[in-house]
Every structure is written in C-alpha cells, then in structure tokens.
Amino acid sequence: MPNRQRELKGLTSEIKINRCYGCGVILQSDNPMDVGYISKDRLNLEDQLCERCYKLRHYGEVKQNSPSFGESYIKLLSDVNKKDALIVYVMDAFTIEGSILKDIHPYLQKNTIVVLNKKDILPRDFPEDKLVAKIRQVLKQDNVNPLDILLISSAKNINMDEFMSKLETLRKGKDVYFVGANNVGKSSIINKILKNYKNKTDKLITTSKYPGTTLGIIGIPLDNVSYMFDTPGIFNPKSVISQMEKEILKYIIPRVQINPRNYQLDDQNSLIFGGIARFDYVSKNQKEKGKCGYTIYMSNDIDIERTKLSKADNTLVSIILQNKTHPIAKSIKEVKDLEKHEYILPVVESGTINITITGLGSIMTQGKGQAIAVYAPKNVEVKIEHIDYRA
C-alpha cells in the first residue's frame, strides 16, 4: 500500500476525493490485481467503493491480506499521541490472547480506553468482571492504564449507549482513533455509532467475517471540528487467525454464543479439534491415575473427536482424509504438520487452569499436576494460566 498518510487534516480531504469509503484504500484504475482497483469510468465519481469492497459486500469474496504493523502505523500512533486524541483500543472479548498487541502498547500510555467487543459470544455465566480485571493487570505490566475498560457488543447493541457517552466525555472535543487486531470489530462499532447516533445508514464501512478488511485510515466527522478514524487491523502472527486460510476462518471465529463442551477424560485420551489441533490427557500425576474433567471453549462450529491417545495420530489422518471432521485446513494432513507443546500442569488449591490456543479457544481444567500435550498449528502460541476467581 502506498504510504500517503501525511497530515491527518490532509488525509480526510484525500478520503473524500480518491479513497474507497468502505476500506480506506487509495483508489486506482491501473492494475486490477492491486489493492484499490476500480474501473476507469468510475474512478472520478465521488464516494466510490473499490472492487474488493464491492465484491465483499455483494458476494462475500475476498482476495488479499491486510497490512501488518509497520512504520506507517508507528507514525500514525505517534501523531495521535502528539495531538492528544482519544484512542479506543478494541479487543475481541473471547479471543483476548489474540487481541493483545504488545507492539502498540508504548503508544497507549495516555488517553486510551479499552473496549472488549463481541460480549454476546461469551458463554453464559462468564465471569466478566474477572476478565476486565485480568486485562487491566496485563496492560499495567506495559504501563498502559486505560481510562476505562468496557464490555460491549456492536452486533447486539449491548452497552453502546454507555460506550458512546464515555467516548463523548473522555475525548474532550478531540479526534478518536479506533485501533486493534484484525477482526475484533472496529469497523462494526463505528458503523453502529453511525446508525445509532448519526442516523446514517448509507455509506457504511465494509466489515466482513475475514480479517484484513479495512486497508486504510477512514475519517468520519463526529462534529464540525473533530473526526473518528477507523484503522486497518493489525495481524497477530501468533494467532490461529493469521495462520489458517480464509475459507475456514468463518468456522474458527465464533459468531454466536459459545456453548462450553465438557469431557470427563480417562488418562491416555485425546480430543481432536476439527483438523486443526489436538489435546492429549497423558496422565493424572505421579500418585494417581484416572479421570479428569476438561471444558472446551471454542467456536460451536469446530467438531471435537474423542479418541484413545494410542490411536490419535491415525484418527487425525483418517478423519481429515474421509472428510469426517470440520473445519479442515489445507496445510494440515497429519500430526507432523502441527507443533507439539508438552506441559505438566501446576497443582492448585483453588481456581482453574486455562490452556489457551491463541485465536482458537481454551481448555479449562482443575490443576492437579496432569501431564498434557497440545498440538497446535505451527507458530501459534499456546499458553498455560492459573485463574483464581477468589483473587
């Protein structure tokens, strides 16, 4: 993408002239294979959609990836800091591990509000206050102390009024920038603001179930002197969402409320998640053998196959070959295509142990010193965490 992000004031007039209003990319009619393509006869009309946005909206088609965190993004964040604008750091309430972008934290030391979007996806009885406390703690380690942390759902219109009034108070008449990882719902939130509070439903920003939808910075007037800006989402390379092909992401990224799935496993048992990951319960601990409970929090569209550990390698191959599971990734045919992570879980008196496969979901259990293994797509981060709800 050409770097034409100069003066922010200049940017907004540039958008009016030759940027796609759907994704913010600069329009061009020279190369149909390049981003921002639009046919010549439409190029000079006002308020145009690039061909990619047009196809996304009408046929759900998508071609290329979004830009990653680079120099132009750093420049943008530095400018935002200089002009004391309000930053809305958007995260996906379910995929928190995939939403935390440590690279941008140095730029979020002031005037930042955190929004956890997609609240509607969280399972019933989810301890939301603990989630907020955990995020506050994680951010604090990087000296990020947000003015507020709000749980919302742009899709289901949950807490949008509260968010909007916070936004108005905290921005003090200044501009607002929405930043965050891919697919967390930045553009959807802005569209909701346009619909709810500006009564605008015509020129909405393009959103999609695929990451990498917004390609440039899009400025939308909030009043006569200030703007809110949508920005391209940043890829988190450690997330399943960045490692899997687009066709199966719509099954991996949850769209409706997660139904937790409970398993009482004997040791030497395995669970296979679609054709993309596997969990082995190897043994209980040095003193005991026997059953152990595991709860899986993943998109309801991911099939779970239970099998004996001794058969798990072959089962993975056969369910993929025979198309007996869902979703199946092109790059994964056998266990060798996955990366193995082995752990002895800690013994804990209270709380639970969460085993998170970034971008895919988590496996929750009591910490009893079990030996376990997780097979995840290559380069995807796996994390073990003790969560104590009494703390």
Ligand X SMILES: Nc1nc2c(ncn2[C@@H]2O[C@H](COP(=O)(O)OP(=O)(O)OP(=O)(O)O)[C@@H](O)[C@H]2O)c(=O)[nH]1
Shortest CB 95 distance to ligand X, Å: 11
d(CA 248, CA 332): 12
Out of 184, 248, 258, 329, the residue judged to bind ligand X by CB under 6 A: 184
Q: Name the nearest CA neighbour of 116 among 140, 104, 98.
A: 98
Please report the sign of the dihedral spanned by the C-alpha atoms of residue 77, residue 104, residue 360, residue 92.
Answer: negative
Exactly one of 19, 52, 118, 278 binds ligand X (CB under 6 A); that residue is 118
Which of Mg ion, ligand X, none sits in contact with 236, Cβ below 5 to 8 A by type?
A: none
Report the distance separating Cα 83 and Cα 326, nearest Å. 48
**Pick 228 or 309: Cβ nearer Mg ion:** 228
Using CB under 5 A as the binding rule, whether residue 269 contacts Mg ion is answered as: no
| CA atoms of 229 and 291, how far apart (whole Å) | 52
- The interface with Mg ion within residues 202-241 (CB under 5 A) comprises 213-214
Binder of Mg ion out of 159, 187, 283, 356 (CB under 5 A): 187
* CB closest to ligand X, residue no: 233
Report, in Å, the least distance between residue 154 CB and ligand X. Answer: 4
CB of 271 to ligand X, least distance (A): 25
Using CB under 5 A as the binding rule, whether residue 66 contacts Mg ion is answered as no
Q: Quick check: 155 binds ligand X (CB under 6 A)?
A: yes
State the helix-helix crossing angle for 186-197 and 160-171, rounded to 10 degrees.
Answer: 90
Smallest gap from residue 120 Cβ to ligand X (A): 5
Q: In 83-209, which residue ranges form alpha helices assigned H by DSSP?
A: 96-99, 128-140, 160-171, 186-197
Q: What kind and span of H or E run contains 259?
A: none
* Using rule CB under 6 A, residue 242 touches ligand X: no
Closest to 282 in 3D by CA, of 322, 341, 240: 341
Rank residues 98 and 332 by Cβ distance to ligand X and give the closer one.
98
Q: Which two tokens stand for residue 132?
A: 């907020």
For Mg ion, the closer CB: 184 or 328: 184
Asked if residues 138 and 174 have their Cβ atoms less than 8 Å apart, the reply is no
For ligand X (CB under 6 A), the number of binding residues is 25
Should residue 207 be labelled a site residue for ligand X when binding is judged by CB under 6 A? yes
Q: What 3-state DSSP class applies to 353?
A: strand
Per CB under 6 A, residues contacting ligand X are: 66, 117-118, 120-121, 153-155, 182-188, 207-209, 211-214, 232-233, 255
Per CB under 5 A, residues contacting Mg ion are: 186-187, 213-214
